[in-house]
Structure 1
Amino acid sequence: MTSPDIIVIGGGIAGVSLGYELADDHSVLLLERESTLAFHTTGRSAALFLETYGNLPIRALTTASRSFLENPPFDAELLSPRSLLEFARPGRSDDLRAFYDEISALTPSAEFLTEPEARELFPLLREGYAESAIYEPGSMEVDVHALHQGYVRGLRSRSAEIRTTSGIVGLTRTENEWTVTLADGSTVAAPIVVNAAGAWADSIAESAGVPTIGLQPMRRTIFMVGAPDDVDTSRWPTVSDIDEAFYIKPEGAQFLCSPADETPTPPSDARPDELEIARALDEINDATTLNARHVRTSWAGLRSFVADRTPVVGFDPEADGFFWCAGQGGYGIQTCAALARVGAALVRQQPIPADVSARGLEVEHLEVGRLR
């Protein structure tokens, strides 16, 4: 492919999902700097679909993504049940109630629970630690690998080209197209460049001479501990507190845990923070009777945010043909289906899809200009 309509930079979930939607009526070339796709953030996700998570634009995108994830256009089972229990410590029930009132419009299945009701759902929760809770019965686990690979197969079925080990060293705008120079000295060109480079999106903008958006990657650590012997946790919910000091998700004979840390970090191959793991273990052992002492394995990923913690999707008003799809934070997996449709509509100069706008999402929430 020597002259595609669109070059997509980044092979994580943002790039492959938007590329898939665009490849329906455009020729697409996707470039990935690593030797494999989804090497960084996408491949290290905690894989949750939570309709009550994030601000209003995030919740709108998440709820609008459910139907795609339930019935994808490729052969894969993407979702499995994993409810969510979010609790408030003593003195925080009023804040939790206010949050419940806020989310109920888009997630009417959510329930406000007392402490005994919460402990019925997650028996390890220590008595007296939680004052109240929100239960989200419709939250799910996502098979991230199947989702990403489904989009990759879909891209190829639509005749898109995918190139790995294709780091970018420069982008220049000449007449009506962008010329992208790769690390091996070769070049490719297209009228539109989509910047879906995750934590490196601002670096790509700098290479193109485009003003940055203040993107800040944040490290998020995850670790595994053993579950109690002879206890079936398969129907237990993921547990978090309203202040996001930690979360716990049952995974067979183990629990996936996180300190829910957000440590500002340069774009990099993130490594787990041992001090945050130790803090989270203390928090988890205070909140539950798990008494975890040994960490079986750990890893980390990057969640990249702009100032208002809402994705940046749209053409840059200061650079013709330069399209942003960045700043998904920790919501990229659960919002990708709707966000890709929104992004494709904006590339085509069309309105946001009606089912997404009906949930309260507006172009102004996503456009680049709000940050400058």
Structure 2
Amino acid sequence: MSDFIVIGGGIAGISAAARLSDLGSVTVLEAEEALGYHASGRSAAMFEENYGNPATVALNKASAEYHRTANGGYLTPRGFMLVAGPGEEEQFTADVKELDLHPIAVEDAYARVPILKPETVTLAALHEEAQDLDTDRMIQDFARVVRGAGGKVVTKAEVTAIRHTGAGWQVTAGGEVYAAKQLVNAAGAWVDRIAALAGVDPIGIVPKRRSMARLPAPGGHDVTSWPMMMGVGEGWYAKPDAGKLLVSPADADPVDPHDAFADDMVLAEGLARYEEKVTEPVTRVESNWAGLRSFVPDGALVLGPDPARPDFIWCAAQGGYGFQTAPAASRLIADLIGGRPSELDRDILAALSPERLR
């Protein structure tokens, strides 16, 4: 019997498992054949401290030092730039305030991204400190911690049954039965289905699709040093990636949990919004995909023991902020289970607690 079973091998589950390895033996169960298959494998891979609601931003800030220094650091310079045009002044002002950006001269924006269209980009703001995240290495490093502590990481282990026993939990997955004293639900879009199998009340998770297209470098430009760009109201965003450009319509359409794929019409509409701001038309999409970002109604993560079943621990509702928040979120999970004080203040802890949803 393990001390902990963690269901879900995305960044939420594998980071929680690594932190819990200090408290006891851990078994990670992942339904797919590899870690980080769903939302974690389809991330925009950015660290933007000011992105998210107050509880998310607090986790971002508490994660910053880990991102900068752990295992040699996971960050490389990128920058984040908001662009707007005629008629978008009010939304631009609101976004600048919410994201804590500083306005820059449009000439500076054109210098940074030479394909911006002067007729439709008349305002710009920047956060120079936004950075790329090495997401794959982060997942593998957390998995290495689990294995180094004697824990198990089991893939192709879809959970089909959960039973509470006098000693803890029995979980049937991939045809095998696993036992542990405590159960961590980090199953992403599937967390409420896992809760139902365990006889625990759901938290009202809503998976929302986020689509992405990979384009050739526009006009043959070297995009390596371009910042990530976003339209006002998060109507679209674009990010350099391995010499290409990733463009998303920033869609957030509620869907059932599944292996997500991009909706062609939604993708086309988002690409059209991007095209309005640039001089280079989209002539070819090299590939496209989608991931599921999972939310509860208030938009904050759900972290900690269930109030009615304390040996069932939620690590859920990352909402697209999973990598940004993982170091602090996983530390909070371990602190709560280990009875240690948290570095986060009381209001933030309340905003993240499962108790707020009961």
Fold match (TM-score > 0.5): yes
Aligned to 1:107: none
**Is the 1:83–1:237 contact (alpha carbons within 8 Å) kept by the matching residues of 2?**
yes
Deviations 1:25-67 (A, max 9, x none): 2111111112221111111111111112111111111122121
* Pick aligned residue for 1:147 from 138, 159, 169: 138
Aligned to 1:201: 191
- 1:183 Cα shift? 4.2
1:123 aligned onto 2:114 = yes
Q: C-alpha separation between the residues in 2 aligned to 1:55 and 1:320?
A: 27
Write the mapping of 1:11-26 to structure 2, written as runs, cut at 5 A: 11-26=9-24
1:69 aligned onto 2:59 = no
Q: C-alpha separation between the residues in 2 aligned to 1:69 and 1:181?
A: 35
Amino acid at match of 1:177: G
**Is the 2:300–2:318 contact (alpha carbons within 8 Å) kept by the matching residues of 1?**
yes
Q: C-alpha separation between the residues in 1 aligned to 2:240 and 2:309?
A: 46
Aligned to 1:84: 80
**Is the 2:29–2:173 contact (alpha carbons within 8 Å) kept by the matching residues of 1?**
no
1:246 aligned onto 2:236 = yes
Q: 1:98 to 1:298 in 2, by over 3 A?
A: closer
> SS in structure 1 opposite 2:64?
helix
Q: C-alpha separation between the residues in 1 aligned to 2:261 and 2:98?
A: 35
**Is the 1:259–1:280 contact (alpha carbons within 8 Å) kept by the matching residues of 2?**
yes
Q: Cα RMSD between the aligned structures? A: 1.8
**Is the 1:91–1:131 contact (alpha carbons within 8 Å) kept by the matching residues of 2?**
no
Q: 1:281 to 1:115 in 2, by over 3 A?
A: same
When normalised by structure 1's length, the TM-score is 0.91
Query: Which has the higher mean CA deviation after the structures are superposed, 7-16 or 78-87?
Result: 78-87
Aligned to 2:262: 272
Q: C-alpha separation between the residues in 1 aligned to 2:122 and 2:339?
A: 49
**Is the 2:32–2:157 contact (alpha carbons within 8 Å) kept by the matching residues of 1?**
yes
1:334 aligned onto 2:330 = no
Q: C-alpha separation between the residues in 2 aligned to 1:77 and 1:320?
A: 34
**Is the 1:281–1:293 contact (alpha carbons within 8 Å) kept by the matching residues of 2?**
no
- Name stretches of at least 5 consecutive residues in structure 2 with no aligned partner: none
- 1:121 Cα shift? 2.4
**Is the 2:219–2:280 contact (alpha carbons within 8 Å) kept by the matching residues of 1?**
no
Write the mapping of 1:25-40 to structure 2, written as runs, cut at 5 A: 25-40=23-38
- 1:102 Cα shift? 4.7
Q: C-alpha separation between the residues in 1 aligned to 2:336 and 2:270?
A: 41
1:53 aligned onto 2:19 = no
Aligned to 2:248: 258
Q: C-alpha separation between the residues in 1 aligned to 2:241 and 2:307?
A: 45
Amino acid at match of 2:57: R
Aligned to 2:163: 172
When normalised by structure 2's length, the TM-score is 0.94
Deviations 1:91-120 (A, max 9, x none): 44344434444554xxxxx42224333333
**Is the 2:18–2:145 contact (alpha carbons within 8 Å) kept by the matching residues of 1?**
yes
Amino acid at match of 2:351: H
Q: 1:94 to 1:282 in 2, by over 3 A?
A: closer
Deviations 1:343-370 (A, max 9, x none): 11111233322xx43xx86211111121
Q: C-alpha separation between the residues in 2 aligned to 1:230 and 1:38?
A: 32
Q: C-alpha separation between the residues in 2 aligned to 1:168 and 1:100?
A: 44
- Name stretches of at least 5 consecutive residues in structure 1 with no aligned partner: 105-109
* Pick aligned residue for 1:135 from 126, 132, 135: 126
**Is the 2:213–2:285 contact (alpha carbons within 8 Å) kept by the matching residues of 1?**
yes
- 1:205 Cα shift? 0.2
**Is the 2:23–2:338 contact (alpha carbons within 8 Å) kept by the matching residues of 1?**
no
Q: How many residues align?
A: 358
Amino acid at match of 2:17: G
Aligned to 1:307: 297
Q: C-alpha separation between the residues in 1 aligned to 2:310 and 2:61?
A: 32
Q: C-alpha separation between the residues in 2 aligned to 1:121 and 1:174?
A: 60
Q: C-alpha separation between the residues in 2 aligned to 1:98 and 1:264?
A: 25
> SS in structure 2 opposite 1:243?
helix
- 1:305 Cα shift? 0.7
**Is the 2:58–2:348 contact (alpha carbons within 8 Å) kept by the matching residues of 1?**
no
Write the mapping of 1:361-372 to structure 2, written as runs, cut at 5 A: 362-372=348-358
- 1:294 Cα shift? 1.1
> SS in structure 1 opposite 2:318?
coil
Q: C-alpha separation between the residues in 2 aligned to 1:361 and 1:78?
A: 29
- 1:221 Cα shift? 0.8
Q: C-alpha separation between the residues in 2 aligned to 1:88 and 1:302?
A: 27
Amino acid at match of 1:32: E
* Pick aligned residue for 1:319 from 296, 301, 309: 309
Q: C-alpha separation between the residues in 2 aligned to 1:156 and 1:183?
A: 20
> SS in structure 2 opposite 1:128?
coil
**Is the 1:93–1:131 contact (alpha carbons within 8 Å) kept by the matching residues of 2?**
no
> SS in structure 2 opposite 1:112?
strand
